[in-house]
Amino acid sequence: MLCSSGITKAQLKNDYPIQPVPFTQVHVMDNFWAPKIDVNAGITIPYTLEQCRKTGRIDNFLRAAGKIPVDTMTAYPFDDTDLYKIIEGASYSLQAKKNPALEKYLDTLISIIASAQEPDGYLYTFRTMKAPRPHEWIGSKRWEKEEDLSHELYNAGHLYESAVAHYLATGKKSLLNIAIKNADLLVKTFGPGKEEKFPGHEIVETGLTKLYRVTGKKEYLNLAKFFLDLRGKAGHFNQEYSQSHIKVTDQHEAVGHAVRATYMYTGMADVAALTGDKQYLSAIDDIWHDVVDKKIYITGGIGATNNGEAFGAAYDLPNMSAYAETCAAIANVYWNSRMFLLHGDSKYIDVLERILYNGLLSGVSLSGDHFFYPNPLASLGQHQRSAWFSCACCISNMTRFLPSMPGYVYAQNKNDLYMNLFVGSTSAIKLPVGKISITQNTNYPWSGTNEITVNPEKKAQFALHIRIPGWAINEPSPGDLYEDEVKSSKTVSILLNGKTAKYETIKGYAVINRVWNKGDKVSLSLPMDIKKVIANENVSADKSRFALQMGPIVYCLESPDNKDSAVMNIVVDKNAPVSAVYKENMLNGVMTLEMKGSSTKRQINSDEIIKSEQEVTAIPYYSWANRGPSEMEVWIPYDAAMAKPKPAPTIASKSKASSSANSPRMLRALNDQYDPQDSKDASASYLHWWPKKNTTEWVQYDFDSTYIVSESKVYWFDDGPWGGCRIPLSWKLYYKKDGEWIPVKNISSYEIAKDKYNEVKFEPVATTAMKLEVQLPVEYAAGVHEWIVK
Ligand SMILES: [Zn+2]
Query: What gap in Å lies between CA 623 and CA 496, rounded to an integer?
Result: 36
331 CA to centre of ligand 1 in angstroms? 10
Residues 346 and 404 sit within 8 Å (Cβ to Cβ)? no
Cα dihedral 533, 538, 540, 546 in deg (nearest 10): 10
Give pLDDT, residue 188.
98
369 CA to centre of ligand 1 in angstroms? 15
200 CA to centre of ligand 1 in angstroms? 16
Query: What gap in Å lies between CA 647 and CA 632, rounded to an integer?
Result: 18
Number of C-alpha atoms within 13 angstroms, CB side, residue 386?
A: 16
406 CA to centre of ligand 1 in angstroms? 22
124 CA to centre of ligand 1 in angstroms? 20
Strands 434-442 and 449-456: antiparallel
Query: What gap in Å lies between CA 524 and CA 452, rounded to an integer?
Result: 8
266 CA to centre of ligand 1 in angstroms? 16
113 CA to centre of ligand 1 in angstroms? 23
Kindly report the pTM of this predicted structure: 0.91
Give pLDDT, residue 6.
46
Q: What are phi and psi of 693, to 5 degrees?
A: -155, 155
190 CA to centre of ligand 1 in angstroms? 28
For residue 684, pLDDT beyond 80: no
Interval 1-51: pLDDT, tens? 334 344 556 668 899 999 999 999 999 999 999 999 999 999 999 999 999
Give pLDDT, residue 605.
82
Query: What gap in Å lies between CA 382 and CA 686, rounded to an integer?
Result: 11
Number of C-alpha atoms within 13 angstroms, CB side, residue 556?
A: 28
Contacts (Cβ under 8 Å, ≥6 apart) of 403: 23, 37, 40, 41, 89, 92, 93, 96
77 CA to centre of ligand 1 in angstroms? 15
405 CA to centre of ligand 1 in angstroms? 18
SS (H, E, C) 662-683: CCHHHHHHHCCCCCCCCCCCCC
Give pLDDT, residue 4.
39
Q: What are phi and psi of 177, to 5 degrees?
A: -65, -35
Give pLDDT, residue 10.
67
Sign of CA dihedral 313, 551, 374, 338: positive
164 CA to centre of ligand 1 in angstroms? 22
Confidence of residue 73 (pLDDT cuts 50, 70, 90): very high
Give pLDDT, residue 664.
76
328 CA to centre of ligand 1 in angstroms? 7
501 CA to centre of ligand 1 in angstroms? 45
The one-letter amino acid code at 61 reads F
For residue 120, pLDDT beyond 70: yes
Interval 444-497: pLDDT, tens? 999 999 999 999 999 999 999 999 999 999 999 999 999 999 999 999 999 999
What is the length of the chain? 790
Read off the pLDDT of each residue in 668-672 and give the average, rounded to a whole number. Answer: 88
Query: What gap in Å lies between CA 647 and CA 651, rounded to an integer?
Result: 11
149 CA to centre of ligand 1 in angstroms? 16
60 CA to centre of ligand 1 in angstroms? 20
Give pLDDT, residue 685.
82
150 CA to centre of ligand 1 in angstroms? 17
360 CA to centre of ligand 1 in angstroms? 11
For residue 608, pLDDT beyond 90: no
Give pLDDT, residue 2.
36
Give pLDDT, residue 8.
57
The torsion region of residue 538 among left (phi > 0), alpha (psi -120 to 50) and beta comes to alpha
Contacts (Cβ under 8 Å, ≥6 apart) of 663: 687
396 CA to centre of ligand 1 in angstroms? 8
325 CA to centre of ligand 1 in angstroms? 6
The one-letter amino acid code at 222 reads N
327 CA to centre of ligand 1 in angstroms? 4
Q: Which residue, 305, 304, 303, is CA-closest to 331?
A: 303
CA distances 150 to 127, 136, 141, 153, 478, Å, are 10, 9, 10, 8, 38
Q: Which residue, 308, 297, 303, 306, is CA-closest to 324?
A: 303
Confidence of residue 683 (pLDDT cuts 50, 70, 90): confident
Give percent of the chain with pLDDT exceeding 90: 90
Strands 504-506 and 499-500: unpaired
Quickly count helices (H) and strands (E) in the chain.
16, 31
Give pLDDT, residue 402.
98
Give pLDDT, residue 305.
92
DSSP H stretches of helix in 147-217 = 152-170, 174-189, 204-215
User: What average pLDDT does the structure give for the chain?
Assistant: 95
789 CA to centre of ligand 1 in angstroms? 43
Distance of CA 744 to the CA centre of its chain: 50
Query: 422-431, 676-685, 777-786: which has the minimum mean pLDDT?
Result: 676-685
Confidence of residue 116 (pLDDT cuts 50, 70, 90): very high
CA distances 214 to 159, 173, 301, 429, Å, are 14, 11, 32, 21
Interval 126-143: pLDDT, tens? 999 999 999 999 999 999
313 CA to centre of ligand 1 in angstroms? 21
374 CA to centre of ligand 1 in angstroms? 8
Cβ atoms < 10 Å from Cβ of 273: 22
493 CA to centre of ligand 1 in angstroms? 40
Q: In sequence order, what E strands does 217-257 have?
A: none
694 CA to centre of ligand 1 in angstroms? 34
386 CA to centre of ligand 1 in angstroms? 13
Give pLDDT, residue 663.
78
